[in-house]
């Protein structure tokens, strides 16, 4: 679960990294971020294991509500929910639920800060997380991110992200691990600024 959360953080941070390479895109991303009050999408996560000739596929939904509410939920083949609501985080599976005060836990405090700052576009000047190379592709842009920080280097060799040229949103994320495994997340049915039921962010 923690690795998946870092994937989500990386996808958000990648918008920051991309913006630093082009003034026009900085302006576009900042303008788009300022208009986002809610975001909802489906995701498909595919895990490719180096030692096995098969794939592990899971599906779920993500919800975001400004300024500090986030729900990342696996629906199939298992149930797992991550909810962030202000200064608290809920981790819940079929048999257990834990509520964490982010102010009392450095790891989760960093996670929540990165997520919210990235979504709101407050990290546009941060170039200490990844080394980035950009390429134009048909219908969008591809960013290759090489981790700089030690804790990220221990997990990943690189992240590859595909952006939609029109919306500047992330459509696909690849996480390449040191073990040789690769996780791919594809975002589908993205909906922006539609009403979201506030109960989805309840910590119960």
What is the CATH classification number for the domain harbouring 92?
Answer: 2.50.20.10
Where does 38-169 show beta strands of DSSP type E? Answer: 38-48, 55-65, 69-76, 80-85, 88-93, 97-101, 130-137, 140-147, 156-164
SS3 assignment, position 112: helix
**Predicted local confidence at residue 80, as pLDDT:** 92
Query: How far apart, in Å, are the Cα atoms of 43 and each of 64, 104, 152, 173?
Result: 14, 30, 23, 11
**Predicted local confidence at residue 122, as pLDDT:** 44
**C-alpha dihedral over 174, 52, 93, 83, to 10 degrees?**
-10
Distance CA 166, CA 86 (A): 31
**Predicted local confidence at residue 60, as pLDDT:** 94
The two most distant CA atoms of the chain are separated, in Å, by 48
Distance CA 137, CA 69 (A): 33
Q: Indicate the number of domains in the chain.
A: 1
Query: How far apart, in Å, are the Cα atoms of 109 and each of 23, 54, 112, 116, 140?
Result: 31, 36, 5, 11, 33
Range of the domain at 111: 2-201
Q: Which two tokens stand for residue 104?
A: 């009392």
Per-residue pLDDT of the chain (204 residues; tens, 9 = 90+): 555 555 555 555 444 444 445 556 556 656 666 777 888 999 999 998 888 777 889 999 989 888 888 898 999 999 999 898 988 889 899 899 999 888 887 767 666 665 555 554 444 345 677 777 777 778 777 777 788 878 778 778 988 877 777 877 778 888 898 888 888 988 899 898 999 999 999 997
* pTM score, whole prediction: 0.76
**Predicted local confidence at residue 15, as pLDDT:** 47
**Predicted local confidence at residue 32, as pLDDT:** 67
């Amino acid at each position: 679960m923690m690795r998946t959360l870092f994937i989500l953080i990386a996808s958000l941070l990648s918008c920051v990294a991309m913006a630093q390479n082009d003034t026009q895109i900085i302006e576009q991303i900042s303008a788009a971020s300022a208009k986002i009050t809610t975001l909802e999408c489906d995701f498909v996560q595919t895990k490719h294991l180096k030692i096995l000739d098969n794939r592990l596929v899971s599906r779920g939904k993500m919800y975001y509500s400004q300024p500090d509410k986030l729900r990342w939920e696996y629906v199939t083949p298992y149930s797992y929910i991550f909810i962030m609501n202000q200064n608290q985080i809920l981790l819940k599976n079929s048999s257990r639920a834990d509520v964490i005060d982010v102010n009392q836990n450095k790891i989760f405090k960093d996670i929540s800060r990165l997520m919210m700052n990235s979504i709101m576009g407050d990290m546009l000047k941060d170039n200490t997380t990844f080394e980035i190379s950009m390429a134009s592709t048909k219908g969008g842009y591809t960013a290759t991110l090489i981790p700089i920080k030690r804790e990220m280097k221990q997990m990943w060799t690189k992240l590859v992200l595909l952006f939609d040229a029109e919306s500047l949103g992330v459509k696909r994320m690849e996480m390449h691990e040191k073990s040789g495994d690769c996780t791919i997340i594809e975002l589908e049915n993205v909906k922006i600024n539609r009403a979201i039921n506030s109960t989805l962010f309840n910590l119960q």
